[in-house]
Structure 1
Amino acid sequence: MSRTDRHTEPLLTARGLHKRFGDNEVLQGIDLTLHRGEVVVLIGPSGSGKTTVLRSLNGLETPDAGTIVVDGGPEIDFDSGARLPARVRKQQRFALRDRSAMVFQHHNLFPHLTVLENVIEGPWRVQRRSKAEVVAEARVLLDRVGLSDKADARPHQLSGGQQQRVGIVRALALKPDLLLFDEPTSALDPELVGEVLLVIKELADEGWTMAVVTHELQFAREAADHVLFLDGGVIVEQGAPAQLFTAPQHERTQRFLTRILRPMDGA
């Protein structure tokens, strides 16, 4: 039984998301539902809109049109966004950001802060929780990813894989409902990829709700409940990994997987 079968309650529903940058329409009507405890993996060629989807769900980008509902709350309607006061639009972004946390491709750690200080910055200064409480929680989280001995290190003293694990811990420290991963291994040396994917798989097994943009298709096969293939700003095809990777229905999906999977299978 998949996590989707066990967790049928929608956490986030997005409908008709559009986003344009100049003449480039990056999203052309994205419909997406994330259920509690579900792992959704977004795949597709570069420039297909995958990262823009994540950034829209997190409030880092404001869609030009469409709606998002989080956990049965009020509908955020971007169709009327241009007519809303700036204060309201800012509240909408924060409403999304308060429920989710993003793990970025390039870590984005503060170089002047220690590992521990990086982890507690959000829960302490933004969420205004007790410093003693967040420090204790941060040490537990660092221990679970094997970095308890790096609490006082600076980011430049860590390997790329260790920095990314700190990025994951920093996201977890915010206690989000939704974890968003934007190609979390693409900036890593190949030998470091596995240690980061292992942490993400463990989070999936614990029942975290996650949306992951990745080119690691073996990870998608093993960890995803649902896979979305995007191309040209649209969801071309979606389904369970067993179906999508072995019997894709759309010719564009077939072409993409043939290019990516044949080298993997022959390795």
Structure 2
Amino acid sequence: MLEVRGLHKAFGDHVVLSGVDLTVTPGQVVALIGPSGSGKTTVLRSLNGLERPDAGVVRIGEVSVDFGARPSRALEDSLRHQSAMVFQHHNLFPHLTVLENVTEGPVRVQQRPRAEAEAEARSLLERVGLADKADAQPHRLSGGQQQRVGIVRALALRPKLLLFDEPTSALDPELVGEVLSVIKELAEQGWTMLIVTHELAFARDVADQVVFLDGGRIVEQGPPAVVLGEPTQERTQQFVERLLRPF
């Protein structure tokens, strides 16, 4: 579903990604972990077209882009449409209702009939327990509810790949569980997902593969039992122990 080869990105003299290779198979859940500034979010933004890599090949589904070959804007847009992202701060439009937030992309970007988009949006909202909030404004929702709307908005685009950028980091601790439970249900339903997270216990329970990124490079990757339970690299060991045994 996703294949990344030799992904590079720098901001001026600051190198953020230095030759990242990554593969995610259909239906697989991959957790991307690492310290702040390691390049995790830049990986997601590069896949979703929010950042343009300096070099590297990215393939999602049947669409492949070689960023070192100066691809056309149309090809980059085609790649962007293969995935959908859920952000840390949900980024809902405050002047639109929940239903309007969810249908904005399908109607305006994908040119789908409004009635069809609204019917699917209501069905998705019901699946995450928010059917009664369709006509509410975002400011009337809790943080957890807003993030669930953010997830529904991504699902409504019918992406091949779901990208999550620390979806619980901006939530109060008591609201984290309701968002993680939705993501776990998506995993059980077979969605292909790449999740940036600091919730290592969640990654251990849900992910098929865990990738540890540090300094813009992949240091270690493998099943959760290995990367989080018996990491082979010293840097991974230090990171995992600090997060799982913070005191």
Moved over 3 A (4+): none
Q: Distance in 2 between matches of 1:72 and 1:235?
A: 25
Q: Distance in 2 between matches of 1:124 and 1:101?
A: 15
Q: Please list, as runs of the form range in 1=range in 2, the aligned pairs for 1:89-104 lying within 5 A after superposition.
A: 90-104=73-87
Shift of 1:92: 2.8
The question of 1:197 aligning with 2:180 is answered yes
Counterpart of 1:165 in structure 2 is: 148
The question of 1:32 aligning with 2:15 is answered no
Shift of 1:245: 1.1
Checking the alignment, whether the CA contact within 8 Å between 1:227 and 1:241 is kept in structure 2 is yes
The question of 1:232 aligning with 2:215 is answered yes
Counterpart of 2:57 in structure 1 is: 67
- CA distances 1:192-233 after superposition (whole Å, capped 9, x unpaired): 000000000000000000000000111100000000000000
Q: 1:43 aligns with which of 33, 44, 55?
A: 33
Q: Distance in 2 between matches of 1:116 and 1:99?
A: 22
Q: 1:115 aligns with which of 98, 101, 110?
A: 98
SS in 1 for 2:35: coil
Shift of 1:79: 1.3
Checking the alignment, whether the CA contact within 8 Å between 1:58 and 1:93 is kept in structure 2 is no
Checking the alignment, whether the CA contact within 8 Å between 1:221 and 1:242 is kept in structure 2 is yes
Q: Distance in 2 between matches of 1:113 and 1:19?
A: 35
SS in 1 for 2:228: helix
Structure 2: gaps of 5 or more residues: none
Q: Distance in 2 between matches of 1:127 and 1:71?
A: 18
TM-score by length of 2: 0.98
Q: Distance in 1 between matches of 2:135 and 2:244?
A: 41
Checking the alignment, whether the CA contact within 8 Å between 1:60 and 1:93 is kept in structure 2 is no
Q: Distance in 2 between matches of 1:254 and 1:157?
A: 42
Q: Please list, as runs of the form range in 1=range in 2, the aligned pairs for 1:79-158 lying within 5 A after superposition.
A: 79-81=68-70, 88=72, 90-158=73-141
Number of equivalent positions:
247
Shift of 1:68: 1.2
Q: Distance in 2 between matches of 1:146 and 1:72?
A: 33
Q: Distance in 2 between matches of 1:198 and 1:93?
A: 33
Checking the alignment, whether the CA contact within 8 Å between 1:16 and 1:65 is kept in structure 2 is yes
Counterpart of 2:240 in structure 1 is: 257
TM-score by length of 1: 0.91
Higher helix share: 1
Q: Distance in 2 between matches of 1:234 and 1:171?
A: 28
Counterpart of 2:11 in structure 1 is: 21
Tell me the C-alpha RMSD between the 2 structures. Answer: 1.0
Shift of 1:93: 2.4
